[in-house]
Amino acid sequence: MIEFIDLKEQYKRLKNEINTNIQKVLEHGKFIMGPEITELEKKLADYAGVKHAITCSNGTDALLIPLMAWGIGSGDAVFTTPFTFFATAEVIKLLGATPVFVDIDENTYNINPEALESAILKTIKEGNLKPRAIIPVDIFGQPADYDKLEKISKKYNLLMLEDAAQSFGAVYNKKIAGSFGDAASTSFFPAKPLGCYGDGGAVFTNNDELVTVMKSIRVHGQGSDKYENVRLGINGRLDTIQAAVLLAKLEIFNEEINLRNKVAAKYTRELSGYVKTPCVKEGCISTWAQYSVLAKDSSQKAGVLNNLKKNNIPAAVYYPIPLHLQTVFKNLGYVKGQFPVSENVCERIFSLPMHPYLSDIDMNTIVDVIKKSV
């Protein structure tokens, strides 16, 4: 049986470490903000090469917390891509701000910097919204084009929040994903490259003031005392038990990223010429949160997915509907055809099983089915 993501195999390998770490928490009983949280935050910050990492409840709150700290709200424009998981745009709208969508690059599927600059200029010209922030998404594990994005954010004085939910640990020009922008967010949802055994997330920043405000927001906007509230916040802490799990997994994370890259390299070798394989830019190392390919068109995709299913091979579609066409965003006024690259990619894309423990034999089976279906 081929798994889409094989968490059981990983657990087998780390069973002793994970069990011991969880046992320790059960015995000391500090389930909320226990010592494992502080230890993990230090290790995560070191790993990303930033001053501060603060853990939190999930990857969605990891996006929400910095936006709240920046006071993003009604009348503000926040630029992001329609080709991402819903949470990226959801948090913008939750705060009363307006997501302004920008089409993606046709090879990396990350935000297109030229289209971003046009969207900023258009928003300024229209004058209804105040451009405040950019949320680039490192889709499938490959960092966005931060050289260009940092120039744009400086030029227009915009805050930048890196959505590194899929890319924590990836490399862009020798820097680690999770270290870009004014803050970066990641998710430890079990299926992410670094996942815990429930929900979890983290925010990264080099800014001391920002981290103080974010820590307050994480616990109901608390002040210096637990029962003094100086602002509105959320209940956004990570459980100590999840930190204990992550501490064990972090030890082998680099090795797992290497293994994922071996799997990706074999897929690409085998599948080029049959489907459009992923394009990793020079200077980048992906974490391969997903290995996603494009079929020629939607009917070829349906055929391949059907054959994979018949052969008991799990596959997934990230993402079938671009966010500008989601029902909930209807009132933003976007129409079909507005972001042709995102729309075309949504029609043609599908993702293959991807995890560090995928065997050559299983990969050969997967590849053969695809080759015979196109």
Ligand X SMILES: *Cc1c(COP(=O)(O)O)cnc(C)c1O
- Pairing state between β 201-205 and 52-56: antiparallel
Q: Is the Cβ–Cβ distance between 314 and 6 less than 8 Å? A: no
Among 2, 53, 87, 238, binds ligand X (CB under 6 A): 87
Candidate segments 53-61, 68-76, 274-282, 301-309, binder of ligand X by CB under 6 A: 53-61
Those residues with Cβ within 8 angstroms of residue 47's Cβ, 6 or more apart along the chain or in another chain: 169, 176, 178, 250, 253
List all residues 6 or more positions away from 13 whose beta carbon is below 8 Å from its beta carbon. 252
Q: By CB under 6 A, tell whether 88 contacts ligand X.
A: yes
111/369 with CB nearer ligand X:
111
Rounded to the nearest 10°, the torsion over CA 143, 147, 150, 155 is: -150
Closest approach of ligand X to the CB of residue 67, in Å: 13
Task: Confirm or reject binding of residue 60 to ligand X (CB under 6 A).
Answer: yes
Between 120 and 159, how does the x/- string for binding to ligand X read (CB under 6 A)? -----------------x----------------------
Among 163, 182, 239, 343, binds ligand X (CB under 6 A): 163
Q: Please, which residue, 163 or 304, has the CB nearer to ligand X?
A: 163
Name the minimum Å distance from CB 328 to ligand X. 16
**Closest distance to ligand X from the beta carbon of 354 (Å):** 14
Beta partners for residue 186, in sequence order? 202
For 305, counting Cβ atoms within 10 Å of its Cβ (0-12 exposed, 13-18 middle, 19+ buried), the class is: middle
Residue whose CB is less far from ligand X, 256 or 369: 256
287 binds ligand X (CB under 6 A): no
Distance between CA atoms of 195 and 137, rounded to whole angstroms? 18
In the complex with ligand X, the residue whose CB is nearer, 140 or 267, is 140
Site string for ligand X, 179-208 (x = CB under 6 A): --------x-x---------x-x-------
Of the candidate residues 166, 179, 290, 342, the single one contacting ligand X (CB under 6 A):
166
Among 42-50, 56-64, 278-286, 308-316, which window interacts with ligand X (CB under 6 A)?
Answer: 56-64
Distances from the Cα of 226 to the Cαs of 28, 170, 281, in angstroms? 22, 37, 47
Q: Is the peptide bond before 47 cis (omega within 30 degrees of 0)?
A: no
Looking at the chain, how many residues does it have? 374
Q: Total residues contacting ligand X (rule CB under 6 A)? A: 15
- 101 in Cβ contact with 86 (< 8 Å): no
What DSSP designation does 333 have?
-
What is the rounded CA–CA span in Å between residue 210 and residue 180? 15
Q: Which is nearer to ligand X, 202 or 313 (CB)?
A: 202
State the nearest-atom distance from the C-beta of 287 to ligand X, in Å.
Answer: 11
Interface residue list for ligand X (CB under 6 A): 58-60, 84-85, 87-88, 137, 163, 165-166, 187, 189, 199, 201
